[in-house]
């Protein structure tokens, strides 16, 4: 049976603040500017442990949000109210 990792991306939330996550390469990144946690994906399995999550520097987080089609200042999806 094949597993579609994009399905999991829609189900998982940040384990710190419960916000949405966006995929950036081999990581899931929290869309909340105050949190900015990055959870690595290893062998197609997201590691959602807070102890192993990294805080993304603010400028890098903004760039990640742009790549994900989100506002680089707030992390909200562009075109959303």
pTM of the model: 0.86
51/8: higher pLDDT? 51
Domain membership of residue 39 as a residue range: 5-67
Number of domains in the chain: 1
Q: Is residue 38 part of a domain?
A: yes
CATH number at residue 48: 2.20.25.10
pLDDT at 5: 61
How far apart are alpha carbons 25 and 16 in whole angstroms?
21
Distance (Å, whole) CA 56 – CA 22: 13
Residue whose pair of structure tokens reads 């049976």 in the numeric block: 1
Contact 13, 57 (CB under 8 A): no
What does the pLDDT look like over 36-59, one tens digit per residue? 999 999 988 899 999 999 999 999
Question: 1: pLDDT confidence band, cut at 50, 70 and 90?
Answer: very low
């Amino acid at each position: 049976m094949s597993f579609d990792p994009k399905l999991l991306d829609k189900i998982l939330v940040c384990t710190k603040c419960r916000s949405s996550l966006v995929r950036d390469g081999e990581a899931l990144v929290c869309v909340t500017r105050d949190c900015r946690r990055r959870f690595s994906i290893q062998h197609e399995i997201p590691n959602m442990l807070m102890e192993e999550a990294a805080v993304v520097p603010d400028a890098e987080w903004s760039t990640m949000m742009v790549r994900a089609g989100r506002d680089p200042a707030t992390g909200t999806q562009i075109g959303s109210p």
